């Protein structure tokens, strides 16, 4: 098959002004950390150090929480919803205006392809702020009682796979509902959150309403343990989610957890195969597979397995891996050396347990963190690659014969975040979706997101919902 060559089409980096050092954003200003510590953030595609970013300790977190409390009591809590909405609409518009800058910065700090940060992350980030801005003066109509009240100060901890989008999922509903926030971005991807802090200044958001404390796990732990936090929202691994649940247990703090996943993408024998192949590719290779709701387990009906896999492999040979800033790139860099190591180790375990590994011929850049798109066939349900979240561009393929077997295998996981169904029959979509223990079920599509639609998990994927009217519930007391 002919694979067309493309000329390089790099997006310019010059639009972004990366500072050599960043402080913490507390009470509307950038300040040096009391800790005196900092940490480097690198471009995972080149290993170039982008900046030194402050590492907040418990005393810095305390300053941020105090600022958030003051802002909540004096300004943001008492403010009319229609006035809060004006600030949120203003932030949303500035995000749109500066979206190219934000997209380039996201791609260089995270490694994701510019076509995703530009066409998926940033439009969704703006849409989240617009959507929740619309709710700020209509909380009485959210179905949460006639006069729902904000909770107070929210402590929010987010991961590195969608740095700015996860920030939007956390901050937009919290602010719309009248809470103030202290947010900790992930240690490998702090830069867009710090640019967002500048956007808060540009929007004249009252000081202390949004505070950004950068740092690693210890900073996050100090935030969730702080006694003056009313609400904890966490997105990240199930393991850290468990620790946070233990910290919060027995306190008055409200908690929502968005954790890992191991989604089944189920293809029935009557599915439109070419469309399904696109959905499978999008399901597992979007964002290098660093997606909690990735379709990482492909369940394909046995009678069409060979044909589907042929078409899938052919499609995978056309995926372009490389420079995240090139507009033709489909798969960018793995976010960190540690994540690359985890993907390598689980893939090696797949081979050792007897599954067959396949990747298209693919030249990887010499520097940076890279992993070729990979497919495992001959996977059984007991294999680690069928059970554990790999969080990389690795697809495990299993087969089934009957719809009942598909459902049984799909639900045979400790997780329950998402699932996909590919079939021509509407009645089958409804019947199967009803039986899947997953928070989101996509039919004849995958990885579709919308701010109006709730998102969240069953079982070890966490509890609580983000997005939509449901997302307000986590930030309001009836």
Contact set with ligand NAD (CB under 6 A)? 157-161, 184, 186-187, 216-217, 220-221, 224, 235-237, 240, 243-244, 258-261, 292, 389, 391, 417, 457, 462
Query: Smallest distance, Å, CB 131 to ligand NAD?
Result: 17
The sheet with strand 180-184 has its strands ordered as: 29-31, 24-26, 210-212, 180-184, 153-157, 231-235, 254-258, 462-463
Query: Please, which residue, 135 or 391, has the CB nearer to ligand NAD?
Result: 391
Q: Does an H or E element contain 25, and which? A: strand 24-26
Query: Residues 116, 258, 388, 466: which is the catalytic one?
Result: 258
CA 341 to the chain's CA centroid: 20
Query: Smallest distance, Å, CB 403 to ligand NAD?
Result: 27
**SS3 assignment, position 331:** strand
Query: Smallest distance, Å, CB 221 to ligand NAD?
Result: 4
Total residues belonging to the chain: 478
Looking only at Cα atoms, what is the longest distance across the chain? 66
The sheet with strand 440-443 has its strands ordered as: 356-358, 374-377, 394-400, 297-301, 264-267, 418-422, 440-443
Query: Please, which residue, 77 or 260, has the CB nearer to ligand NAD?
Result: 260
Q: Following DSSP, what letter does each residue of 425-451 receive, concatenated?
A: -HHHHHHHHHH---SEEEES--S---T
Active-site residue, 106 included: no
**SS3 assignment, position 404:** helix
Gap between the Cα atoms of 229 and 51, Å rounded: 30
Residue nearest ligand NAD, CB atom distance: 220
Gap between the Cα atoms of 206 and 226, Å rounded: 23
Query: Residues 55, 106, 200, 292: which is the catalytic one?
Result: 292
* Geometric angle at alpha carbon 340, from 388 and 183, rounded to 5°: 80
Active-site residue, 362 included: no
Q: Which residues are catalytic?
A: 258, 292
């Amino acid at each position: 098959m002919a694979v067309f060559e493309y000329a390089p089409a790099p997006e310019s980096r010059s639009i972004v002004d990366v500072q050599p050092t960043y402080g913490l954003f507390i009470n509307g200003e950038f300040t040096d950390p009391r800790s005196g510590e900092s940490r480097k953030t690198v471009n995972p595609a080149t290993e170039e150090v982008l900046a030194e970013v402050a590492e907040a300790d418990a005393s810095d977190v305390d300053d941020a929480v105090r600022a958030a409390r003051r802002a909540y009591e004096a300004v943001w809590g008492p403010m009319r919803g229609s006035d809060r909405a004006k600030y949120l609409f203003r932030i949303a518009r500035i995000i749109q205006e500066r979206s190219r800058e934000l997209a380039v910065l996201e791609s260089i700090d995270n490694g994701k392809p510019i076509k995703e940060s530009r066409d998926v992350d940033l439009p969704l980030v703006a849409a989240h702020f617009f959507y929740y801005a619309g709710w700020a003066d209509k909380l009485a109509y959210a179905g949460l009682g006639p006069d729902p009240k904000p909770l107070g100060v929210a402590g929010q901890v987010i991961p590195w796979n969608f740095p700015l989008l996860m920030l939007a999922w956390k901050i937009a509903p919290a602010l719309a509902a009248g809470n103030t926030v202290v947010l900790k971005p992930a240690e490998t991807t702090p830069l867009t959150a710090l640019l967002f802090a500048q956007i808060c200044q540009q929007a004249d958001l009252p000081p202390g309403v949004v505070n950004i404390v950068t740092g690693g796990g210890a900073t996050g732990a100090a935030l969730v343990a702080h006694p003056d936090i009313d609400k904890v929202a966490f997105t990240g691994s199930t393991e850290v989610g468990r620790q946070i649940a233990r910290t919060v247990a027995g306190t008055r703090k409200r908690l929502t957890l968005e954790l890992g996943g191991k989604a089944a993408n189920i293809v029935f024998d009557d599915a439109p195969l070419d469309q399904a192949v696109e959905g499978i590719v999008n399901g597992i290779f979007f964002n290098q597979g660093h997606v909690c709701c990735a379709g990482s387990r492909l369940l394909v009906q046995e009678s069409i397995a060979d044909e589907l896999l042929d078409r899938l492999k052919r499609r995978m040979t056309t995926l372009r891996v490389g420079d995240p800033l090139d507009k033709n790139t489909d798969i960018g860099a793995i976010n960190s050396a540690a994540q690359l190591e985890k993907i390598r180790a689980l893939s090696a375990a797949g081979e050792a347990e007897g599954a067959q590994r396949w990747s298209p011929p693919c030249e990887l850049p010499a520097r940076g963190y890279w992993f070729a798109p990979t497919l495992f066939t001959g996977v059984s349900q007991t294999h680690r690659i069928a059970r554990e979240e790999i969080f990389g561009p690795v697809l495990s393929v299993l087969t089934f014969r009957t719809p009942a077997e598909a459902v049984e295998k799909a639900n045979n996981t400790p997780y329950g975040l998402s699932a996909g169904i590919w079939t021509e029959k509407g009645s089958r979509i409804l019947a199967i979706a009803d039986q899947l223990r997953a928070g989101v079920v996509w039919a004849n599509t995958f990885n579709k997101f919308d701010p109006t639609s709730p998102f969240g998990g069953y079982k070890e994927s966490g509890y609580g919902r983000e997005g939509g009217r449901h997302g307000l519930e986590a930030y309001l007391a009836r």
